[in-house]
Chain A
Amino acid sequence: MSAPVRVVITGVGVVNAAIVGDSAALGAFLAAPRPASGVAEGGVARVPSSVLPGLIDAGDARRLSRVCQLSIAAARLAVRESRIDAGGGLGLVIGTEFGDLASTHVFADGFLERGPAGLSALLFPNTVMNTMAATTAIAVGARELTLTLNAPTVAGELAVARGAAAVASGRARAVLAGGVDEIDPVVERHLPDLGFGGDTLGEGAAFVVLESRATAEARGATILGEIAAATWRALPARPWGVGRQRRSQAVTAALDHAGIAAEDVGAVYGSASGDRARDAWEAAVLGAALGASTPPVARLARLLGRHAGLGVLRVAAAAWTARSGLLPAAGAPPTGLTRVASPTGLVHGLARGGAHVALVVGGP
Chain B
Amino acid sequence: MRRVVVTGLGAVTPLGLGVKAYWSGLASGTCALRPLTVIETESFRCRIGGEVPEAVGGSWRRTRADRLAIAAADEALADAGLGEPERQGAALVVGAVGGGMLEAEAWYWAASRGRRARALPAVRSMLPCAHADTLAARFRLGGPRHTVVTACSSGAVALAEAAALIEAGVAETALAGGVDSITRICFMGFNALKLLDPAPCRPFDRDRRGMSIGEGAGFVVLEEETRARARGARVYAELAGYGMTTDAYHVTAPEPDGEGMARAIQAALAQAREEPAAVGYANAHGTGTPQNDRVEARALERVFGEGGLLVSSTKSMIGHTMAAAGSLEAIATVLALGHRVVPPTANLDIPDPEVHFDCVARVSRESAVDCAISNSFGFGGQNVTLLFRRR
A: which residues have CB within 8 A of B? Answer: 92, 97-99, 104-105, 107-109, 111-112, 115-116, 119-121, 124-125, 127-131, 133-135, 137-138, 141-152, 158, 162, 165, 169, 171, 190, 193-195, 231-234, 236-240, 353-355
Contact = CB atoms under 8 A, between A and B. Distances in A.
Contacts of B149: 99, 128-130, 148-150
Contacts of B382: 130, 134, 146
Interface in B152-183: 157, 161, 164, 167-168, 170
Contacts, number: 184
A125 B379 contact: yes
Contacts of A152: 127, 129, 133
Interface of B: 43-44, 92, 96-97, 105, 107-109, 112-113, 119, 123-130, 132-134, 136-137, 140-151, 157, 161, 164, 167-168, 170, 184-186, 188-193, 244-252, 260, 263, 378-382
A108 B133 contact: no
A282 B136 CA distance: 20
A131 B251 contact: yes
A133 to B, nearest CB: 7
Contact of A97 (B108, B127, B251): B127
Contacts of B251: 125, 131, 134-135, 138
A194 B246 contact: no
A144 B245 contact: yes
B148 A149 contact: yes
15 contacts: A112-B109, A116-B43, A116-B192, A129-B149, A133-B380, A138-B248, A143-B246, A146-B244, A150-B96, A151-B146, A194-B123, A234-B145, A238-B137, A239-B133, A355-B145
A120 B192 contact: yes
A134 to B, nearest CB: 3
B381 A162 contact: no
B97 A195 contact: no
A120 B192 CA distance: 7
B235 to A, nearest CB: 24
A141 B132 CA distance: 31
Nearest to A125: B251
B112 A239 contact: no
A239 B137 contact: yes
B96 to A, nearest CB: 7
A150 B252 CA distance: 21
Nearest to A124: B189
A130 B43 contact: no
